[in-house]
Amino acid sequence: MKPATQWAREDLEALSSRGLRRALEPLDSPQGAEVRVGEERLINFSSNDYLGLAASPAVRAAVASALERYGVGTGASRLVVGDMVPHQRLEARLARFERAEAVRLFNSGYAANTGILPALVGPGDAVFSDALNHASLVDGCRLSRARVVVYPHADVAALTRALEQTPARRKLVVTDSVFSMDGDVAPLRDILAACEAHGAALMVDEAHATGVLGARGAGLCEALGVEDRVDLRMGTLSKALGGMGAYVATSRAVADLLVSRARPFVYSTALPAALCAGAERAVDLVEHDPASRERLWGHIHRFTDGLRALGLSAEPRSAIFPVILGEPSRALDAARRLREAGLLVKAIRPPTVPDGTSRLRFCLSAAHSTGHIDLALEALRRVGVSRGP
């Protein structure tokens, strides 16, 4: 056996014995409230397609027409020859949506976060990162080679102490706005005050807030009216916007620097132009058609009330609802039983979440009907999922 195969077999066995081995399972349908997996038709509670735009006819039509005009691949990074008119149009459209001086696109949220942090800070600097930040921010911090100070989740007093006590040339605070595995919301006003008091820059990852929070759907910063006080607002095109890619809303100077310095921007082939055209259409829908967002929020309140009636704790903060069960086997077992009842809701296990907090993670979407929400609550009642650990 070749060495790498031997290593992989050993590691897979270790993962399996702890209930942490992961496996793929393809859908044979678009994202939506109901999806097909093999012969099963399941109600989908695991997608980040919060507004149902991944299969929207209007977005598909925009993608199809740009696909005709620009083809599929972009042939090179944007700096070489991959930059096309739809990339520029989308950046301008997103800048208007975000009320920002400038926007820079990335190929994914992961690429954005691992590119932006090292472009701005390095040795001699310090990054202050919430303990529950997304893995892409964690990796961006590591890649920057700045000193990384992880503060306890949402603990602004601890963040403030760290800002006071850490000597550094530049200080950058980074936080998710909606935390991806818990659905809770960062105490952004207080974080911002701490940053301003200590001359620190602030970067906010709005991946799960874009399209969901704010009157125009521009995220938590918009909801709180603090857009122009935050240095970098990162958003994804891959969740509520239903496509692929990400962006950062920032100043012209930062956007210009990223073109020269963010390695995933410089060294990776540009997004397909057709996806940019689709995202532009999706932004129009998010901004000017609040009905989907209102439907989603109706579901969020209905699901919160229903979970509470089942004795589970829940808050209407975002479209993400964790049901924490403890050990991986409990989460896997609950997911299997819910699936027998027709629900697709994935078990989330370490290292995505801390040890002992394996969970079911329900994501709601405007694509769901109230009937789907009620079916989920009824299935939870029937299979007797109760909060652990």
Q: Active-site residues: which are they?
A: 180, 208, 239
Contact call for residue 227 and ligand PMP (CB under 6 A): no
Contact call for residue 176 and ligand PMP (CB under 6 A): yes
Q: Tokens in use for 197? A: 């008091």
**Pick 44 or 108: Cβ nearer ligand PMP:** 108
Cβ atoms of 344 and 33 closer than 8 Å: no
Q: Find the residue with minimal CB distance to ligand PMP.
A: 109
**Pick 270 or 377: Cβ nearer ligand PMP:** 270
Taking CA 285 as the corner, what is the angle to CA 280 and CA 290, rounded to the nearest 5 degrees? 150
Contact call for residue 207 and ligand PMP (CB under 6 A): yes
CB of 50 to ligand PMP, least distance (A): 12
**Which H or E run contains 235?**
strand 232-236
Tell me the chain's radius of gyration from C-alpha atoms: 21
How far is C-alpha 166 from the geometric centre of its chain's CA atoms?
Answer: 29
User: Binding residue for ligand PMP (CB under 6 A) from 46, 129, 136, 292?
Assistant: 136
Q: How far apart are CA 276 and CA 27, in angstroms?
A: 24
Cβ atoms of 337 and 383 closer than 8 Å: yes
Piece of the chain touching ligand PMP by CB under 6 A; list 202-210, 262-270, 287-295, 313-321? 202-210
Cβ atoms of 130 and 175 closer than 8 Å: yes
CB of 248 to ligand PMP, least distance (A): 12
The mark string for 73-112 relative to ligand PMP (x by CB under 6 A, - otherwise) is -----------------------------------xxx--
User: Binding residue for ligand PMP (CB under 6 A) from 180, 210, 357, 358?
Assistant: 180
Q: How far apart are CA 177 and CA 304, in angstroms?
A: 20
* Beta strands across the sheet bearing 34-37: 34-37, 40-44, 343-344
Contact call for residue 238 and ligand PMP (CB under 6 A): yes
Cβ atoms of 106 and 237 closer than 8 Å: no
Contact call for residue 205 and ligand PMP (CB under 6 A): yes
**Pick 91 or 205: Cβ nearer ligand PMP:** 205
Q: How far apart are CA 335 and CA 329, in angstroms?
A: 10
Question: By the criterion CB under 6 A, which residues form the site for ligand PMP?
Answer: 108-110, 113, 134, 136, 176, 180, 205, 207-208, 236, 238, 246
